[in-house]
Every structure is written in C-alpha cells, then in structure tokens.
C-alpha cells in the first residue's frame, strides 16, 4: 500500500479522487490500495534556542552568537495532531512506500522531508511533481514520478535557506533587541527590503526641486516645443525672438514604423505587480487568491518564476485560449489566431511554467466566484490572450520647425495595427479606475519647406520631481532585480527572496511596525528608519542578500556546496 502526503487537505482530496482513494477517514482518505493524507503547512520546524539549552530562554548578550553544532527540530504545537497521524500512517505495517505530493517547490520539499525525518521513517519515497491540480495533470504526473533522491539538491537548498534565516534571524534579533531595549525582529531578506524603503524615503526627503523651461511655439496649424532650458533668461530671449518672427518653416519630417511586442505570460511577481497597480491588491492578497484558484483547479501552480510554457503544452494552450474567450464574459466574442511559439521556451521553464487558466475553467460558472477571484481570472486570461496576440504597430512622425534659426519639435503617432493592445484596452475599459494611457496625438498634414504663419510663442515652466515612493508593484520589481549590477549577465538567480516569499516579506515589514501602507504607497516608519541606521551593511545590502539567493539556487542545481554557504552565513 502506498501513502500519498499532500501539503493541504484540498489538494489531498483531489489526489485521492484521481487515484480512487474514496473512503473518508479521520484525517486521510483510503481506497484502491492507497492512503492519502496531508500536512497543514509546516508541521516540523527548526527548534528554538531553548531546545539546545534551557537557559537560552532568557536573552543575554553574553550567549551570542548561538550557533548549533547539530541542528534540532520540533513539532509545531498547533498542528501536532496531524503530525502524529502522519507518523502513525508512515509506520502502518500495510504501508510499503510513500509518495511526496506536497507543493512542487523548495518549501514543499522541506515540509515533507522534515516530517519524514522527524517521524523516523525509512520507507521508499517517490516524488509527485504537479503544476496543476486538474485531474488530467495529476494523471500525467503519476506516470512521471521519480525517486525522492532525485530532489536531494532541492531539499538541501530549502534546508540551507531555513538554517540561514534561523542563524541571522535569531542572533540579529536578539542582539539588536538587547542593545536597544525593545523587540527588533531582524531578518536575512526583510532587512535589505526595509533598507530599500528607507533609502528611497531619504532620497525623497533630500530632493530639491529645480525649475526648467521650454518655449512653446504655436503656428497655424501646428504647435511644437524647444529643447529644455535651465535658464529663464535664455527662454525669455528665445520667446521675444520668436514673437517677432513673421513665420516658421517645416524644416524636417521624420516618419518611422514602430512596433511593440506582446508582453510575456505571468509569473507570480509580474501578476502581483499588475494586481497591485490595477486593483490595489497587496502581494499577499494576490498570492492567496491565486493559491485559492489553483486549489479550485482554475489556475496552474502560482509560485513560479517562469513566463514561458514548454513545447508539449502547445495544444493545451490553444484549448485554454478558446475556453477563455468562451467562459470569461469580458472576452466573449474575441477571436485571435494565437502565436504559441512566442511564449514557448523549454530552457526558460525550470520547476514550473507560467501561470495559466486551466481547462477546468470550461466547467466553471465564473459569475459564482467572488469578485476578487474573478478579477484575477480576468487578469490572467487577458495576459494569455495578449501574450499570444499580434504585434502592436504604429507610425511615429516627428516634425521639426525652424523659427529664427531655432528648432522646435513635436511628435505624433497613428495606429497601423492595434494587435495585442486591443485586448488590453478591452480589459482596461472594464476597470472602474481607468489607467492613463499615452495620449494618441495625430498631426496635421504638412510638408517639408511649408511656411506656417501666425507665430505665437510662450514660456512653459516645469519642475524636476523627486523619486516616487515605493508601491508593492514597484517594490516587488526592485526586489526582483536587486543587486543585478553586482552579477555577470549569465548569473542564474538574482534578487531578494523568491516569487513565493516576497509577499510574506512585505507583510512581515508591515506587521513588525517597520513599514506602513498609505494608499498604494509603502513607506518606512520611524522605527524602520532607525533600525536600518544601526544594522551592519552585510544584513542591509541588497547585493549581499541577492548573492545568497543566487547561491541557494546553485545549491538547488547541484552547482554549489551547502556547507560552504552556511559557513559563510
């Protein structure tokens, strides 16, 4: 008999249905020679310092740093009942082997391995790796299961991440809390993310706005502007000169055909960015919604950093596009000839492909879903149609006028083929808060050498603007690319955290009182600013933490040594 262990009850129930384990028991399913149970998040965690020495329960400067010689683990008290059930099932004499069916990623691997080790189980394990909870996807994955040892590097990376977070989190939190006489939670990834907020706020505070000027030239039938000028006197001199001129001449007309390629499919980070920008959802809210839709079998696996699909998914992608146009009322009647090849690249899909709607959408009454889930489905559906749509092409025209020897320029553009933008515009038209698009300005018909009468000039004053406060959209983007300039172009992994952890980092900053939300903006609190001021650069440096993340990915790929990484930590 095989024992399948999923990460959540809902996924366990789906797997049980697929493999015929249809008899409900207390905490598991049974049938067809199989048992299916589940974890509830992390059932086993790294033990706290007092497990190593009872006197560590009291925080003392003299005890630091606390560096375990041999790592210890403990069962999470809140979910101990489920752990005991899994241990009993693992040691059930009927069970001859296990299937790890936790979420297919670093954290899912760690969740299962720690339970397996804490239960002192020695039975053979195979890995079920799924990117969708649809029955067809699970059946395919059941035919592709591999021995657990094939995922040892993934486990090593996950354990290294947890141990590194423990070492820095436990020691730095105790150190700075003791030094400053108040709780100051400090983390390996949280601290550089906070530093980014603090540095941006400092740049805004230090910014001094300066004026600059331009001269606007209006003629019959065209208006154009001069280059930017920092000196008002220079602008006024040009103004007087032009106002005395009887005419302006069309000096040059440059026409260029331009195009915008469709966007790529969504990975988790880009989906979180757009959901924040368009709907005001926090990164954590978006992750929770996508996770719920995944468990409802309506979206594929959410915690992905890929924006591509694999070659063998072409037929499925075409089928899903057709379903999106039928099932999502917003896109009813849309007809496209999708270019699937554009979003297909096996080399850019590692653990999971991009986020897509599933074929199960065909059977779903979308109107019965909560509005928030409908918004995410529409967003992912829109992105799929856009990503496989045609290029957006337009003609851009730049006209240069000459007046008294000075040049004035204006630009306009005309759409040649709307392409994927037609889908995006359809989606944006459904939003209550419309996004501002670039104004589409068409220019009057003129020719080189034309003389334009009725010259009138005016000076326009402008001011330099400070950097904008971070929103979750822009902070996620900054975290994803943090430290990029410190790496070679072929570095495998860059940035702070992973797509799966960035939302949690932002939430922890807010809950710890180091950052706060004001509208869509994320700003550091006074406590957050003070903490960054006293932390060492090794902890607040985005480049340092990005380097650690890169090493974790190399451990996952078998290209770096876990012990050497932890020694560095």
Return the active site residues.
301
- Exposed/middle/buried for residue 439 (C-beta within 10 Å: 0-12, 13-18, 19+): exposed
Beta-strand relationship, 34-38 and 44-46: unpaired
Residue 297 corresponds to which tokens in the numbers above?
Answer: 């079998």
Q: Token pair 């004001």 is at which residue?
A: 518
Residue 487, preceding bond cis, omega within 30 degrees? Answer: no
Specify the DSSP class assigned to residue 322.
H
**Angle 388-391-394 from CA coordinates, rounded to 5°:** 160
Q: Token pair 């050497």 is at which residue?
A: 564
Q: How far apart are CA 493 and CA 284, in angstroms?
A: 22
Taking the CA atoms of residue 168, residue 171, residue 173 and residue 177 in that order, the dihedral angle to the nearest 10 degrees is -150
Q: Token pair 């440096």 is at which residue?
A: 541
Residues 329-365: b if buried by 16+ CB within 10 A, e if exposed = ebbeebebebebebbbbeebbebbbbbbbbbbbeebe
Q: DSSP string of 475-524?
A: HHHHHHHTTGGGS-TT-S--SSS-TTTHHHHHHHHHHTTSEEEETTEEEE
Specify the DSSP class assigned to residue 298.
S
Residues 560, 551 contacting (CB under 8 angstroms): yes
Q: Which of 411, 415, 409 is nearest to 443 (CA)?
A: 411
Residue 483 corresponds to which tokens in the numbers above?
Answer: 């430290």
**Angle 511-514-515 from CA coordinates, rounded to 5°:** 80
Specify the DSSP class assigned to residue 432.
S
Which residues does 211 contact at the CB level (< 8 Å), separation at least 6? 232, 461, 462, 463, 464
């Amino acid at each position: 008999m095989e024992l399948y262990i999923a990460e959540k009850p809902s996924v366990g129930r789906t797997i049980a249905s697929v493999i015929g384990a249809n008899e409900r028991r207390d905490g598991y399913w049974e049938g067809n020679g199989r048992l299916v149970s589940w974890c509830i998040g992390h059932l086993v965690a790294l033990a706290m310092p007092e497990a190593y020495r009872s006197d560590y329960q009291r925080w003392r400067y003299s005890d630091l740093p606390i560096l375990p010689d041999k790592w210890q683990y403990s069962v999470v008290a809140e979910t101990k009942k489920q752990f005991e059930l899994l241990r009993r099932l693992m040691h059930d004499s009927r069970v001859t082997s296990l299937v790890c069916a936790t979420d297919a990623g670093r954290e899912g691997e760690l969740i299962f391995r720690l339970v397996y080790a804490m239960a002192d189980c020695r039975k053979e394990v195979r890995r079920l790796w799924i990117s969708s909870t649809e029955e067809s996807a699970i059946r395919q994955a059941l035919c592709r299961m591999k021995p657990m040892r094939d995922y040892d590097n993934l486990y090593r990376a996950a354990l290294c991440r947890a141990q590194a977070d423990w070492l820095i989190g436990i020691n730095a939190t105790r150190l700075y809390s003791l030094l400053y006489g108040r709780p100051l939670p400090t983390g390996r990834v949280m601290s550089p993310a906070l530093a980014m907020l603090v540095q941006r706020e400092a740049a805004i505070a230090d910014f001094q706005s300066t004026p600059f000027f331009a001269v606007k030239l209006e003629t019959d039938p065209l208006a154009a502007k001069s280059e930017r000028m920092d000196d008002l006197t220079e602008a006024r001199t040009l103004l007087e000169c032009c106002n005395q001129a009887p005419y302006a001449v069309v000096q040059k007309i440059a026409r260029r055909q331009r195009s915008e390629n469709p966007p790529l499919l969504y990975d988790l980070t880009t989906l979180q960015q757009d959901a924040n920008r368009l709907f005001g959802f926090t990164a954590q809210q978006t992750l929770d919604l996508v996770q719920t839709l995944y468990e409802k079998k309506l979206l594929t696996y959410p915690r992905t950093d890929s924006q591509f699909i694999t070659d063998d998914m072409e037929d499925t992608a075409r089928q899903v596009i057709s379903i999106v146009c039928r099932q999502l009322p917003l896109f009813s009647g849309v007809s496209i000839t999708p270019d699937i090849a554009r979003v297909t690249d096996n080399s850019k899909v590692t653990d999971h492909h991009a986020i897509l709607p599933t074929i199960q959408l065909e059977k779903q009454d979308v109107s019965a879903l909560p509005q928030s889930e409908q918004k995410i489905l529409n967003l992912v559906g829109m992105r799929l149609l856009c990503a496989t749509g045609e290029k957006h092409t337009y003609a851009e025209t730049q006209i240069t006028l000459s007046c008294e020897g000075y040049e004035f320029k204006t630009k306009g553009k005309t759409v040649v083929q709307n392409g994927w933008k037609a889908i995006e515009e359809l989606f944006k038209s459904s939003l209550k808060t419309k996004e501002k698009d670039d104004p589409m300005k068409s220019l009057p018909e003129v020719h080189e050498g034309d003389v334009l009468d009725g010259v009138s000039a005016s000076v326009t004053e402008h001011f330099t603007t400070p950097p904008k406060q971070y929103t979750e959209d822009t902070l996620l983007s900054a975290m994803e690319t943090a430290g990029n300039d410190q790496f070679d172009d072929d570095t495998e992994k860059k940035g702070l955290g992973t797509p799966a952890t960035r939302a949690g980092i932002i939430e922890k900053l807010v809950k710890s009182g180091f950052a706060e939300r004001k509208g869509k903006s994320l700003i550091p609190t006074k406590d957050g600013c003070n903490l960054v001021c006293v932390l060492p650069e090794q902890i607040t440096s985005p480049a340092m933490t990005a380097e650690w993340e890169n090493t974790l990915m190399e451990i996952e790929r078998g290209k770096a040594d876990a012990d050497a990484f932890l020694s560095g930590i």
